[in-house]
Each structure stands twice: as structure tokens, then as C-alpha cells.
Structure 1
Amino acid sequence: MAYAHSLAVTLAAAGLTVFAPAHAMTDQALAGMVKQRLQGDRTGACMAVAVVEAGTVARTYQCADAKDLSRIGPDSAFEIGSVSKTMTAALLADLIAQGKGSLDDTLSAWLPEGTKLPDYQGTPILLRHIVTHTSGLPALPSRMGAADMTDPYAKLDETALLASLGDVTLTAAPGTKFEYSNFASMVLSYAVARRAGADMETLLKQRLFAPLGMRHAYVNTAPDGVRAAVGHTPNARATPAWHFQTNFAGVGGVRATLDDMVRYVQGQLGTEPTPISAALQRSQQKLSDAPPMAMNWMLMPVGGRTVHVHEGGTGGFSSFVSFDIEKQRGVVILSDTTWNSIGSLGSLGLHLVDAGFPLGAPRREARPDDTLLDALAGEYELAGGMKMTLRRQGDALEIQPAGQGTYAMGYDSAGDFYPREFDAVLRPRRTAEGQSFTWMQMGAALPAKRINAAASAPVLKFDAAALRDYEGDYPLMPAFSLAVKAQGDTLTIQGTGQPALPVQAVARDVFVMDAVGAEIRFERDAAGKVIALTLKQAGQQLRGERK
């Protein structure tokens, strides 16, 4: 899963100071943390969570509603989604160690002769471009067919996958631009199995699962004593499992229990030598800088160290895996509910990586403000062309996509609307032109533009003296703050390690930053002095008091 651009959280850029616990995490302490984030959450999610430290493992199984705890347990196998890509990277590194290839091999050399592949002005796609998501291949293959979006990859076969390569025109040289691509990762999964001379499930079992003791991990056939967890959408509805052709499973088709993933993390940490250890270490080495990546691992700077991170999500599951070689510490979160549309598991996951990251709070059912409901009502066009009507119905909102029926929307304490019938999010977005929103669905974030909007409200202007009232430093979390400065008649805001960006006033004490979809709201005390600000962005709210 790729990281989205963000003002406050490009959190990795904050270089957080580590607050190392005096003692290893206990089951009880971990349960309390997960419960604090999850209890009462409107998604109804259940999670299996572990923190791996030198010689110890803390585990907990928690649900938003305690009555659902029977849904998961130590015998439950979860879809781990894109975390599977890191396993494909390990198998590729293993083949390289065997002398069967190189990261500088062309992708074409690993595919059947005659496969048509794109290049850019004669520059080919190399394997290193695939594992750093810089190949230039799009997110999805063009020939998926009339896929059922509740199981989107089920009908994709080898012929369609390889033919889709021939449909691509690269717009930049491979290796120059990051673009997260499930398509490229499916091709790599197929190529690795082909080069190894075994199907992907056999290869995973023999070369990765068995050496690491991941006895219950699988692709197609569950081992004895394992039950497949049932996936859910974030409105607490069960949803079908995802299926991949066996040799494409390296993109997201692995299922595993919590203890399987604990052993995977212990293998990455080098807890004990195994036949796959050298390949795991090779896959951990940095290959690119923008963003920093190893072989399918995101590299996150924390307190001067590097933490390897990857998240995963399918139609009914979410996952988060990280490990810190220097601290010999890892985190695993497996959820039986997809959190893709609401920002994945980063809030809880990063807090477990380092306590300096905010834990976040449960998303609870809430009532939207009347002014927000009235401001959103209208006709819109989403990026890509779909038109959508928003209407107020009493204390709630309903939407009607063009040519479809109407859907009732819930609202949560994070400030997002969501359909009660399917998985998506309508995220209100205050802009300099007025109230709008971003539509989040199936990994896409589509900004909306109002159709036939009334004349824009007059631009609010403040003189330099009024803007200086806001100047100051506002810490939002350890080692990350917003510096607010008046530059003539313009107010700028600069996050730690990020460039200063201008903001536009939309009301007294309320400013927006359209470039990153952020709203900044200042607070005053009884005497009228500015004392704090709250940053609202990407479904998160962070408050900082003025220093």
C-alpha cells in the first residue's frame, strides 16, 4: 500500500524520537492499547495483534464489540493482502542467491518468449523497478474482464495478465517515478514461480513457510486445525473472500494466522538462522530513495533508525507488519475488516511502532452539524466524470450517483460520511471555493467539483497585523509541529521537514490548504488570544497548543 501525500503525516518525515519502554510489552498492556483504539468503533472490526520483542511476544485478540470475539482466535487465518508482496520479494531474493537471476535482469527475461512489454525510448523495465514500484506499469491490468468487485481478481488468468502488458504505454523511464502497482506485482509473482519451476503455493510452503515455522499459512488449501476468518466491510457486513490464480498469489493471496506472522517477523529480525535468512536479509536492503524502499518494503525513518513497514488490504481484511532490526522489535496487526477506505491500520500500527505516533480514537456514530449538511447538498462531478447528487434528509445525508438509486449515509466522529450499504467514504473537504468532498472507494480518492455552483464567496483577506496573531509553533506530536508565519498579507504553514505552504482564509480563524486537502482551525481564549490550532486532514484531527 502506498503512502498518500499529507501535510501532517508524511509522519515518516518527522524523524520521531523513540520512547523505548523500560520493560517488554505484556499481553495485558497490549490489550489495553488495542481496546482503547478499537472498542466501540463503528466498523465492528476484530483484530489479532502482536508485538514481537527480543525473546518475548505479546498477543491480544480484540473486537470493537466484545460479543464478536468468537469470530477470531489463534486458529484464524486472515487474508494478509499486500503484505504477501514482501514474501514474493523474499522468494525473488532467494532465487538471486541461488544464481538464478539478478535485480538488474529485464522483466522480459523472466517471462515467456514473445511477451510484448512496454519500454520508454528503449529503456526496459528491470526487476528492481518492480520491487520498488517504479516500473511505470499502472495500478491494475487492462484485461481483468467484467470482474465482480467483491472478488476482483478471480477471473484474471495468465493470458489476460500478459496481454495487458502490451496495452501499456510508459510515460516516463522506469526507475524515475513511484507508482504503486498491483499489476506489476502480479506479473512478478507469476515470473518468480515460472523461474523457480514450481507453483507459487508450493514455492511459498517449501522455501518460506516451512523454514520459518509458519505451519498454518497457505494460499488455496487450509492446513488441518485452521479456520478461514470471514472478512467484513467497514459497515460490519460480511463480504466474500478474494481469490487469485495460484501463481498470482504473491500480490495478495496469502492467508496466515497471527502466530504465522509472528514467526515471519522473527525471521525478518534474524531471531534464529534458517535456510531463508540470507534471502530475507537481501530483501531488506535499501534500493530507492523516493520514497525509501527495499524489496517491496517501505523504509520509515524513526529516531535515526530505519523501520521496515508494509500494509495490506483486501475486500474484507486489513493488515500491518513492521520490524525494526536495530531495536529487535516487530508489530503485526491482522483485522477481519477492511479499513482501506478509512485510512488503513496506520494509526494503531504506527503507535505500536513508536509511542510518539498518536494512537487515534474509535470512529463512533455521530450526528453531523446542520450547517455541514446544508453546505454539502447539491450536484457534483467526481474526478473521472461520475456525477453525484447529495441531499439532506432530516439529520442525515443521502447520495444518488447518476443513473443509480439513493443511498443513506452514516456519519462518524472522525468527520466522515459513509454508505450503510457498501464500503466507501465521503470525506467533507473545505476549500477556498466552498464546501466540497473527496469520494474514497476501492483505493481511489476522487475529489468532487460542484456543478453549476453559485458565485464563489468573496476571498477573505486579513492585514499583516491580523495574520501575525496566528504566528507561532504548534507541536502536534513529538518531533513534529506546524510553524505558522505571516508573510505580508499571506499566512504560511510549515510542517517539520516540509516546505512552507500558503493557506487561504475561509472564515475567521479557519484556513484551508487545497493542495493537500487540509483545514486548519485556530482557537482563542476568553481574552481573544490565539492559543491552539487543530489540523483536520485525511480523516485525522491533530491539536497543538501554541508555544
Structure 2
Amino acid sequence: MNPSRPLRPLLAGAALAAALAAAAPAIAAPAQSAAVDEGSSSALAAALRARLDGDRSGACWAAALIDGERVQRAFACVDPRQAARIGPDAAFEIGSISKTMTAALLAELIRAGRASLDDPLADYLPAGARVPAFEGRPIRLRDVVTHRSGLPALPPGVALDPADPYARLDIATLVGALAKVELSAPPGRDFAYSNYAMMLLSYAVAHRAGTDYETLLRQGLLQPLGMRGAYVDRAPEGVRAVAGRLPNGQATPAWRFGADLAGVGGVRATLDDMVRYAQAGLAREAAPGEGAIAAVQRTLQPLPGQPPMGMNWMLLEHGGRTLAEHAGGTGGFSSYLALDRARGRAVVVLSDTSLSATGGLAGFGRHLLDPDFPAERARKAATPDAALLDRLAGDYSLAGLPTTLRRRGGALTVQAQGQPEFELGYDDHGDFYPLQFDALLRPLRGADGRYGFVWNQGGGSVAAQRSAPAATSVPAEAGSSKAVPSKAVPFKAASAKAAPAPATQRLGDFVGDYPLAPGFVLSIGERDGALYAQATGQGALRLLADGADGFRTEGVDARIAFERGSDGKIAGLTLHQNGQAIHAPRR
């Protein structure tokens, strides 16, 4: 749920980046101890320090690893002198992990017979609300908690302040915006992450319970689980709010949420609060906590072509087990929580810095939970090759927004039409990044050797298209401000016309795993001289060549365009389906 802070620079508004998340019966606390293994905690601290050493973000992280009754905790910062920024008494914005708590509150209403997943969403909204339907099929609560409602990412026609996007929204505005929505498919069919739908659910749960959201959350979840430092607006005594930051170290204001809408992402919590929440999610005893928190992790209506979902939990099949996970991101924070009930393990990672553009904390958290997942390394500032700067410089269209990359001496700048020019740094992962806000520019080389890029911001990805053959650059050796033509060449998107299949010996170039969403991976494999694509929890589909690095899926209306990095190797892909383009890096 991350329309990040200066989305206005470059992507011109929060909506585009998002396109690119009486009280109910109380939930009982799990009967688990919180024994701490100091030696293991030292090992966890060492893992944190190793990951953060030299990282360009300047972030501070808090992490916990739960293994049965053993709990390891650790805190670390890129700059150890900044350690006071966080600590056991510090409450982080947990962003979209809040959605799982809203689901638990809904589960309690269902358990008490006061709600059903098959209820129409309209029954929970103010009288007279015009909730869209498709050919008579209404949006049900189960469609909302699985992100299959068909509602857009954010309310249409509503101006949002990128620095604080949800502060001025209220239920009247959200309900009014429903009149502008026309569903293009039946609810329950297609996955599309929607913070809009989750704000409506946050209100719906509180309204059905007969109280405000924070009171419901405190009485129904936080107090029973002993989450004494967690809150929305009213901080408990002795708890301090962590100041959020951009990856350049600049402080950024906290996000605020309208009354009863905070269930979309407005909860703050300390590391110990999140440990208790994770322990409740692992609990196996037949208690209300198990019924509300563990039950929401169960798969709801798995559908072909769609990521498996619980109630607001992303589900990931791994090693014969099902992991439940959710990531969070706000203007100045990142978070990650994952539960492996089969092994009785869980992981929590919290950061005081927005890291959405670089993928957040999921990669590090998964590796902590299970070393079979690949380890991550720090992103350190580096010097780009001059030839790469020249090849990238040029004019592009970025989701219809004219955008120019220029070489300025030994650096690259980016400027969208009508917006300031921003200098880009470069890291040792081969990516460029704005020095002023959280975003990422990933260079990609096409099969013809020409360069383009993918822009990541606010949790979304947009592939840029060349719109002119050249731009201006200022070579470092010139020592002059006079603009000269660059060495950039036009970038062309993969052709839509069918092309001969690549030679069999080249099919292996495309084989690999490509995460399309948390818990939803597209695996590309080769057999019998053909490529096959298989999404998490689904059957394999044969791929038919459609251009040098493009393929269409046999039997399903979808297209996959593979993308090459600066070394010419496959670095990612974009899945085109149902009018959407979803980018996935190669894992």
C-alpha cells in the first residue's frame, strides 16, 4: 500500500504508483512463552549487520525469529551511531500488515455469527451506497479479502497528497467514488491488489461491530494478545513513535488515516508486539485466537491463474509447506511478517526507512525463515560505466508521461514533463535511484542490444518506451555545459507479431523463478524442446514464441515479455494479461 512520498516527482501522483493495498468477541492470547536465546539473538544481530553493512539506504532494522518457544530479537542500523533511532520501546508503521489484523477482526465477527464471507459488501456500507456489480454479481466480503473485488487500487477521481495520501479520505468520499467504478469482470475472478477495497472493509468491520476501528482493534486483538505497544492514533504510555525516513536519510512525515479507515495500513507496533502477533498466528490450540488468526491463513477458493490467498494473507507454497506472509510499506517504513505453521516458525522484520522500490524486506525475511530462500546482500553506492550512461540517455514515455534521461558528467538524471530534474545515484546491483526519494530505475537491454528501463516506485513497476532517437548529454571529459548528442539509440518494445522460436539451446536462458507478487511466483521451465510457465499453485502452460524475447501462453490470453540486463542475460519479465502489465525480476 505504498503511494510513497514524492510520487508527484516523476510519476505524477499516488494513483499511478498504486496501479504500479459493540466490539467483536476478544481474541485470546496464545499460551506460549517468550524465551530468549541470547546466543542465537547475537547470531541474528550479526545477520542484520552483515545485510546492512554499507547499504546505501542508511536504514535501521528490527528483526525477530520465532522457533517454537525460542525467540531471537535484534536491532541494527547501517550507521551504528544511529542505533538510538529504534529499540524495544519504538513503534514502527507496519503498513499493509494491518490488513491481516482487519481480517482477524472480521473472522471474529464471522465466528460470532455476525458476518459471513458470502455477504455482499453493500450490506456493510452506508444506506444508499452504489456498489458496482457485474451482470448482477455483487462484490462479496470474500472477494475483498482475497483482492478479487474488481475495485481499483485507489478511489477514482479523488486527489491524494503523495506525502500523506490517506489523511483526508473518509467513508463519504470512498462511497461517492464507487459511483465512478464499472467492473470489467465478475468479482472473485481476477486478482488485483486494492487499498480502496481494504479501506471500505476497515470501515465495514468497525461499523458492523458498532464501534470505531481503533477501539475494536484494541479490545478485540491488541489487549487479548498482550500487544501493549501497538496503536493507531493513541500511543500507549512509554511507547515512542519511530520517525520514518526516505532512503536518502531524510525524515518524512508519518501517514495519517481517516476515522475507521486505518485497517488498510495505519497500525503502529513495536517489535515485541509483532512477536506476540506472530506467536498467535502459530498457535495450534483450539482457542479463539487460533480461530481468528490462524483461520484467516487458510486458502480461500484457489483459482487457476490467480495467486493463492487466505483472508488478507498471501500464501506461498515452499518445500511442501504453505507459508503465510504479508509485506508493508508506507512513506517512511517497510515491514514483513511470515508464518510457517507446519514448522512452528515465524519471522518479523521492521525498518524505519521506505524500501519499497528495492523490493522491501521480504527477501531478507524469507531467508531468515528458511535458508533455502536466496540470501540478499547490501546495496552499496557505485560508479556507473560511462557507456551505460550514454546508452540510457534519451526520451521515453513512462506510462504516457514524457520522461527524459540525461547524462550529466558521470551521473544520470531523470526529468518528467513539467517536473524538476532529479539526479540519480547508482548501486552495485546495477540499478539507478533518485537521490531525493524512494524509486528505482533498472536498465534493461533488449534482444537487439538497445537499452530501456523499468521504473519501480510505490510498489509498482512501469516499463519505459523510447520515444525519440536521442537526447542530450554532457560527457565528463567535455568540461562544458554545452549539450551534445548522446550515443543513445532508439528502444523498441517487443514486436506483437509472431516470430520464429529461439533455438532450442537458448531456451535455457529464460528458465528461472519470477516473483509477480508476494507469495505468487511464475516459474519458467523447459521440457521436450519447449518452455512452460507455471504460477504458484497452478498447472503448467506451454509458451509459444512471439518475438525474440516474447511468448504467448497456450490456452490463456496472456503474453510474457522477457527483459535483459546490461550483461545481456535475462533479468526479468513483464506479464501482460487482463489489461495489466506486471513486472517481475528474475530471482
TM-score normalized with structure 2 length: 0.78
CA distance in 1, matches of 2:542, 2:171: 48
The superposition leaves residues 114-161 of structure 1 with CA deviations (integer Å, 9 ceiling, x where unpaired) of 11110001110000000000000000012533x321111111112101
Alignment of 1:519 onto 2:564: yes
Residue of structure 2 equivalent to 1:258: 271
- The aligned residue for residue 385 of structure 2 is 369
Matched, 1:339 2:355: yes
Name the residue aligned to 2:232: 219
1:320-399 → structure 2 map (5 Å cutoff)? 320-383=336-399, 385-399=400-414
Query: Which residue identity does 2:388 align to in structure 1?
Result: L
- 1:97 pairs, out of 86, 108, 111, with 111
Q: 1:339 Cα deviation (Å)? A: 1.1
Structure 1 segment 26-425 matched on structure 2, within 5 A: 26-145=40-159, 147-270=160-283, 275-289=288-302, 290-383=306-399, 385-425=400-440
Distance 1:68 1:388, change over 3 A: same
Secondary structure in structure 2 of the residue aligned to 1:247: coil
2: CA distance, partners of 1:498 / 1:364: 38
Q: CA deviation at 1:211?
A: 0.8
Distance 1:377 1:351 in 2: 37
* Aligned counterparts of 1:483 and 1:300: Cα–Cα separation in 2: 19
Change (3 A) 1:467 1:126: closer
Choose 493-502 or 152-161, whichever is displaced more. Answer: 493-502
SS at 1:99's partner residue?
Answer: coil
Structure-2 change in CA distance of 1:25 and 1:359 (3 Å): farther
In 2, Cα distance between equivalents of 1:170 and 1:541: 32
Note the residue ranges of structure 2 that are not aligned, 5 or more in a row. Answer: 3-36, 470-488, 495-499, 514-520, 552-558, 574-582
Q: Please say which of residues 339-348 and 122-131 is displaced more in the overlay.
A: 339-348
Write the letter of the residue equivalent to 2:88: P
CA distance in 2, matches of 1:378, 1:190: 46
Whether the 8 Å CA contact 2:191–2:307 is kept in 1: the answer is yes
How many angstroms does 1:101 deviate by? 1.2
Q: Letter of the aligned partner of 2:87 in structure 1? A: G
CA 1:268 to 1:103, structure 2 compared with 1: closer, same or farther past 3 Å? same
CA contact (8 A) 2:451 2:491 kept: no
For 1:242 and 1:388, the matched residues in 2 are separated by: 29
Structure 1, residues 467-515: CA drift from partner, whole Å, max 9, x if none? 56657699979x999756896xxx9687898656578999xxxx79893
Residue of structure 2 in register with 1:428 after alignment: 443
Is the contact between residue 524 and residue 534 of structure 2 (CA under 8 Å) also seen in structure 1? Answer: yes
Distance in 1 of aligned mates of 2:56 and 2:545: 33
Cα RMSD (Å) of the superposition?
A: 3.3
CA positional deviation for 1:399: 1.5
Deviation at 1:164, TM superposition (A): 1.2
Q: Is the 8 A contact 1:186 1:251 kept in 2?
A: yes
Measured at CA, do residues 500 and 27 of structure 1 come closer, stay the same or move farther in structure 2, by a change above 3 Å? farther
**Please, which moves more after superposition, 119-128 or 277-286?**
277-286
Helix, strand or coil at the partner of 1:175: coil
Hey, what's the Cα distance between the residues in 1 that align with 2:523 and 2:161? 44
The change in CA–CA distance for 1:455 and 1:138 in structure 2 (over 3 A counts) is closer
- Contact 1:220/1:246 (CA < 8 Å) preserved in 2? no
1:243 deviation in Å? 0.3
Deviation at 1:402, TM superposition (A): 1.2
- Rounded Cα–Cα distance in structure 2 between residues aligned with 1:480 and 1:113: 42
Equivalenced residue count is: 500
Equivalent residues of 1:132, 1:288 under 8 A apart: no
- Specify whether residues 360 and 475 from structure 1 end up closer, same or farther in structure 2 by C-alpha distance, changes over 3 A only: farther
The code of the aligned residue for 1:445 comes to S
Q: Could you say what secondary structure the match of 1:188 adopts?
A: helix
CA contact (8 A) 1:427 1:539 kept: no
SS in 2 for 1:136: coil
Report the Cα offset of residue 65 of structure 1: 1.8
Check 1:486–1:41 CA distance in 2 against 1; reply closer, same or farther (3 A cut).
Answer: farther
Q: Deviations over 1:79-134 (max 9, x none)?
A: 00000000000000001111111000000111111111100011100000000000
CA apart distance, 1:536: 5.9
Report the AA paired with residue 405 of structure 1: P
Change in CA separation of 1:291 and 1:504 when aligned onto 2, cut-off 3 Å:
closer
Taking a change above 3 Å as real, the CA distance of residues 45 and 187 of structure 1, as seen in their structure-2 partners, is same
TM-fit CA distance, 1:265: 0.6
Q: Is the 1:24–1:53 contact (alpha carbons within 8 Å) kept by the matching residues of 2? A: no
Unaligned runs of 5+ in 1: 3-22, 524-532, 543-547
Task: Give 3-state SS (helix, strand or coil) of 1:518's partner.
Answer: strand
Query: In the aligned structure 2, how far is the partner of 1:271 from the partner of 1:236?
Result: 42
**Alpha-carbon shift at residue 431 of structure 1 (Å):** 2.1
Distance 1:250 1:471, change over 3 A: closer
